[in-house]
């Protein structure tokens, strides 16, 4: 009898041990799986931060995340009626504290194509160095492209007096007598465009700083821990395992010192965002992954900015500003409803021109975002 009980006990004990081992193995497998998932997430986050940091320390010619780039687009109407040697301009557009516009003209048997710019705030000495890609777009999306690099000063325009033969332009690129053109502009360097500063980050702040950030020829005296609290990118750069965390001076390449000054003012709680600074601040907020600065840019664009609907929508798309995008979509819907109530003119082209100028809106861009919004809402 005792032998039977002992046998049963040993069997139960063996089964219990096996079950405990099995449970332990399952728990270990689950734990290892969770650790792998955490490692993957950490690796992705680290790769994202490393990518942003490497881009921030590239040369100005290579750092795409910090590039000031935008497009000017315009449709010139009744181009086949252009008089020779007369300039025809687009409306002014504001980008990065500068006003820009396009110009076309008929110079002999050629199409002339230029860009003009001037500071929004009057200043005596200023210059803007840019790379420009000029494009004329045809009826079947054929296009002619020319490129240049220029330094803008004064009221002189830059471009091509013989961009394209007039006959070829008329034959292949006019649509109902109208010509669609665009220029992609990349700002390389600006001088003399800065606005009044609210806060100082110069040597007078040396006693309350522990690191110097060097941007171009300007030194900014700031706090490592404060910047690290605002951005994971700054946290990794200034307090992490990078060599910069041990340096008293850290160089940030590929960004404009004026934009960086306004960006720091926003981080330090100043009201430094207006229509002349919002693009530069948003660009750096995106580059250094600073959600508080990006949120302030979006709030300004939502509630105070006087920028056109077209420009707001471009910024919303570029920097993934959901609330601003939805506001723009609502306005697009309103425009869509009003568009069919525009008074009819004898000349359909004149009717569309009036509509286009009144709203200053790239309709194709709006339609794309409109469809995107509807898809998301359904």
Pairing of strands 211-215, 249-251: parallel
**From CA 243, how far away is CA 240, in angstroms rounded?**
9
Is the separation of the CB atoms in 56 and 286 below 8 Å? no
| Of the options 3.30.710.10, 2.60.40.790, 3.10.180.10, 3.50.90.10, the CATH number for the domain spanning 203-291 | 3.30.710.10
Give the span between the Cα atoms of 164 and 276, in whole angstroms. Answer: 35
By the 8 A CB rule, do 53 and 63 touch?
no
Q: Hey, what are 142's tokens?
A: 């054929």
Q: Which two tokens stand for residue 186?
A: 């990349």
Instruction: Answer for the pair 144, 122: CB distance below 8 angstroms, yes or no.
Output: no
Structure tokens at 224: 């490592």
195 Cβ partners below 8 Å, 6+ apart? 97, 121, 276, 277
Which sign does the torsion angle of CA 142, 144, 147, 151 carry?
A: negative
Q: Which CATH class is domain 68-191?
A: mainly beta
Domain boundaries, the chain: 1-56, 68-191, 203-291, 309-377
pLDDT attached to residue 100: 94
- Per the CB < 8 A criterion, the answer to whether 130 and 188 are in contact is yes
Using the Cα atoms of residue 331, residue 333, residue 337 and residue 342 in order, give the sign of their dihedral.
positive
What sections of the chain are H helices per DSSP? 2-56, 166-172, 224-230, 232-239, 257-267, 278-287, 291-303, 309-319, 322-339, 348-359, 363-377
Within this chain, domains 68-191 and 203-291 share the same CATH topology:
no
Q: Which pair of tokens denotes residue 47?
A: 């790769």
pLDDT of 354 reads 36
Cβ atoms of 325 and 273 within 8 Å: the answer is no
Per-residue pLDDT of the chain (378 residues; tens, 9 = 90+): 555 555 655 666 666 667 666 766 776 676 666 556 555 544 454 455 555 555 555 444 444 545 788 899 999 999 999 999 999 999 999 888 889 999 999 999 999 999 999 988 777 788 899 999 999 998 877 788 999 998 888 888 999 999 999 999 998 999 999 999 999 999 988 888 777 788 999 999 999 999 999 998 899 999 999 999 999 999 999 998 888 888 899 999 888 888 999 999 999 999 999 998 999 999 999 999 999 999 999 999 999 998 888 889 989 998 999 999 999 989 888 876 665 544 444 443 433 333 343 444 444 444 444 445 455 544
- Do the bridges between strand 88-89 and strand 143-152 make them parallel or antiparallel, or are there none, so unpaired? unpaired
């Amino acid at each position: 009898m005792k032998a039977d009980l002992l046998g049963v006990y040993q069997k139960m004990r063996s089964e219990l041990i096996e079950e405990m081992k099995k449970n332990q193995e399952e728990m270990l497998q689950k734990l290892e799986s969770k650790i792998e998932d955490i490692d993957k997430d950490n690796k992705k986050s680290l790769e994202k931060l490393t990518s942003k940091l490497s881009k921030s320390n590239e040369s100005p010619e290579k750092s795409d995340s910090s590039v000031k780039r935008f497009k000017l687009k315009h449709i010139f109407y009744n181009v086949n009626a252009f008089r020779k040697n007369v300039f025809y301009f687009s409306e002014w557009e504001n980008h990065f504290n500068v006003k820009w516009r396009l110009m076309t003209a008929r110079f002999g048997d050629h199409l002339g194509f230029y860009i003009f710019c001037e500071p929004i705030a009057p200043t005596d000495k200023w210059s803007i160095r840019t790379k420009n890609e000029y494009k004329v777009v045809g009826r079947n999306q054929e296009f002619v492209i020319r490129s240049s690099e220029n330094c803008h000063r004064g009221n002189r325009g830059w471009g091509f007096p013989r961009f394209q033969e007039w006959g070829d332009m008329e034959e292949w690129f006019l649509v109902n007598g109208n010509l669609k053109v665009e220029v992609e502009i990349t700002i390389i360097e600006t001088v003399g465009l800065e606005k009044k500063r609210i806060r100082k980050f110069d040597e007078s702040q040396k006693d309350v700083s522990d690191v110097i950030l060097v941007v171009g020829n300007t030194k900014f005296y700031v706090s490592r821990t404060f910047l690290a609290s605002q951005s994971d990118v700054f946290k990794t750069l200034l307090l992490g395992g990078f060599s910069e965390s041990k340096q008293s001076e850290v160089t940030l390449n590929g960004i404009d010192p004026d934009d960086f000054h306004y960006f720091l003012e926003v981080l330090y709680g100043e009201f430094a965002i207006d229509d002349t600074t919002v693009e530069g601040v948003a660009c750096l907020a995106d580059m250094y992954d600073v959600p508080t600065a990006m949120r302030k840019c979006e709030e300004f664009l939502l509630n105070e900015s006087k920028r056109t609907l077209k420009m707001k929508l471009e910024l919303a798309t570029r920097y993934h500003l959901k609330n601003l995008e939805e506001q723009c979509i609502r306005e697009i819907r309103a425009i869509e409803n009003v568009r069919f109530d525009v008074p009819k003119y004898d000349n359909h082209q004149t009717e569309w021109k009036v509509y286009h100028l009144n709203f200053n809106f790239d309709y194709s861009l709006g339609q794309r975002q409109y469809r995107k919004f509807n898809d998301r809402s359904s």
